Structures are given as structure tokens and as C-alpha cells.
Structure 1
Amino acid sequence: MAEQYTKNMIREVFIMMLNDRPLSKITVKDIAKECKINRNTFYYHYTDIYELLSELFQRELQIVIDEYNDTLSWEESFLVAAKFTLENRKAIYHVYNSMHREELENYIYNTSGNIMIRYIEKASDGISASSGDKKLIASFYQCALTEMVLRWIATGMKEDPDTIIRRIGKLFNGNIALSLKRSADLEDIWEKDHRRFFSY
């Protein structure tokens, strides 16, 4: 219980500092001082700040997975999943501009993928689309969303993501269902290739 409390405190202080300064300007000493713990206590829980960063994004991804609501549209699900990013824009921007951008990119990619895979699985109910095509459709939207979010971060996060995502939803409304129906109508000649493509 005490250990979890300490980890939560370390994580909260870390997020607070990330919202205030670049990742490279945050030290274990700073975190320990703010948490009123010694550095050995920090190192008991984390090897270094970058392990803490990695765990932070893994935890946020798990929250997205646990709180996924299959009654929502993919747009609504994505906006719910983006809550941490929207509440901590400066922190996200600081990570994006650090040597450890890959942690952020993986978080966005995995979050987008989780939402699209689960949404498409629900949308394909009653449609005999091939599993390979479902993965391909999910991957397409996953990559598009990831690149859009990264571009949004790179340009200073000025646009309202709610407006953008909902606009995309309206522009491409029905495309996922149409793609799934087309898959059901096609011969399953691509199944072998899909398995190879998604086996990485």
C-alpha cells in the first residue's frame, strides 16, 4: 500500500514537472526533493527517469484499454482516450521534443490501434469480412490517426482536436462499414498475404 502511494506520488510529481519544463531538465534529485523522499527510494521503484516515462505511457494505455466503451463511435472513443494528452499538453510537447520521443509515438500508435481494432471488431458483427482485411482496415486508420496526432503536437497543438476528429468522422462516415462489406464480397485470396504482413 505504501509502495503504491509512493509510486503514485512520484508519477504525479513527474507529470507536474513535465508540464513545467523539458524532460532533459528533470532530474531524480528534483523529483525526490519535491516528493520529500531520498533518491534511493526513487531508485527502489525506477531504474531512471526514462523507465518512469515508459511506465507512465504504459499505464495510460492500460486505462484506455480498461475504460473502452463499445457503445461509442471510434471518434468518441479516440477523444476519450486522448484525455491525458489534452490535460497535459505541455508535458506531451516536452516529451515530443526530447530524445525519448519514441515512447510517445508508441503510446499514440498503440492507443489508436487498440481503439480501431476493437471498434472494427464491433462494426464487423454480422459482416463476414476476413480477419486479414479487418486488421488491414484497423492498421490504415491507426497509422492515419497516429500521424495526425504527431503532426498536431509538432505544430503546437493549436487546433481543437474535438473539432478535427469529429469533422473526420463526418467526412469518412460509413467508410469502415463499406470496407468491411467489400471484404465480405471479395474472394479470400489475400488472407495468406495478410497473415504475413501482420506477423511482424
Structure 2
Amino acid sequence: MSGGRNMRKKTETLLCIAFMELLRKYPFPKITIQKIAQQCGVNRQTFYYYFDNIYDLMTRAFEYQLTQESRVNEEQSWEAVMERSLCWMKDNRIIIKNMLVNVESSYMRRAIYPVIMRSMTNVYWPNRIIKDRNEESDEFVRHFLVIGITQYILEWVESDYKESVSEVIRKLFYIIKRMYE
């Protein structure tokens, strides 16, 4: 059973990686499901087994890449997770711009949001002692902050990375800390 799951995950990962490689070479509208399938050595039907469409793949590929680069599941520091994520985005501006120019930002937002939420839930929150803690309020505050952080990051990308990564992290962390003073 786990062998099948591993094979499924491996194929899904290969499709994500192939898509990201193609984004480096071609504008998004020129990337077809056929090209992605050929890059992986699978057929189109295999693609549709894993993804609904190319937008589904794009969102999951970007989320996969950010999760890998940020090491959100291993890291102990929220700042380190964010630094790795933002540095990867800046270093891969060709891919990011290709996606932003050719698709709605809502797809990028859907890819960034879960990574930031995991960083807040798994890395930042467990290390905080907050008086009068309320689970429902915590969830609302996390959601609110993640939406704001996600939008700020997208605006940072659209500004062609005007601020340094460390400046962005400093500002975001300031807001987060202020929420709990």
C-alpha cells in the first residue's frame, strides 16, 4: 500500500518539477500538458490522474517548491522559513514573473498561503505563550495575518523586489509581534 502511495507522490513531484523547469524556458501560455507529460515520460492521462488542469498543477508546483525551499516542516525559526521562501522567490524571479504576468494572482495567493500558514502554525505559534489564549481567536488572527503577509509578499514581487529580504521579514515580524504585546 505505501509503495503505491510513494510511487504516486514521486510521479506528482516529477510533474511539478517538470512544470517549473518549463516555466524557466517558455512563457506560461506556451506550456502545454503534452509538453509537461513528455518532459516526465508519461502520457496526458497520467497528468489528469494527478491534476485537474494546468492551473491546479501550477498552484501545487509552486507550493511544493516553496515548501521544499523553506524547509517549513523542519525549521524552528519563523524568520528562517520566511527568509528561505523569499530568497527562493527572488532568485527565481523569471518563474515568478512568468506566472504573475500570465495568470491571475489568485493562483499565486493559493500557493503561497498554505506555506505561510504552516510556518505560522507549526513554527511560530507553538513557541509563543499568549495570555488569555482562545483557539477560535488564534485561528482568526492566524488567518488574518497570513492573508496580509501573502498579499504583502505579492506586492513585494510586483514591485520587482524593491525591499531587501531582511527588510521584508523585519516588517512582517514587527506586525506579528505587535499583535501579541
TM above 0.5, one fold?
Answer: yes
The residue type paired with residue 153 of structure 1 is V
Partner SS state of residue 111, structure 1: helix
State which of 89, 96, 101 in structure 2 corresponds to 1:92: 96
**Rg larger for:** 1
Q: Given the alignment, which residue of 19, 24, 41 partners 1:19?
A: 24
In structure 1, list runs of 5 or more residues that go unmatched: 179-200
Tell me the CA shift for residue 105 of structure 1: 0.7
Is the 2:63–2:114 contact (alpha carbons within 8 Å) kept by the matching residues of 1?
A: no
Aligned to 1:175: 178
Q: Quick one: which amino acid aligns to residue 122 of structure 1?
A: N
The correspondence for 1:147, drawn from 151, 160, 168, is 151
Q: Give the structure 2 partner of residue 123 of structure 1.
A: 128
Q: Deviations over 1:47-103 (max 9, x none)?
A: 43223223324545765686153x42x323322444653453322222222334322
Q: Secondary structure at the match of 2:163?
A: coil
Determine which of 6, 14, 17 is the counterpart of 1:9. Answer: 14
Given candidates 28, 41, 51, the residue that maps to 2:56 is 51
SS of corresponding position for 1:97 = helix
- Displacement of 1:153 in angstroms is 1.6
Query: Residue 112 of structure 1: CA displacement?
Result: 2.4
Taking the aligned partners of 1:40 and 1:156, their CA distance within structure 2 comes to 38
Q: Encode CA deviations 1:12-41: one digit per residue, 9 max, x unaligned.
A: 221011123322110122223333444344
- Paired positions, count: 174
CA shift in 2, pair 1:7/1:130, >3 Å: closer
Within 2, Cα distance between the matches of 1:41 and 1:157? 37
* Identity within the alignment, %: 22
TM-score when scaled to structure 1?
0.66
- Distance change >3 Å, CA 153–CA 61, structure 1 → 2: closer
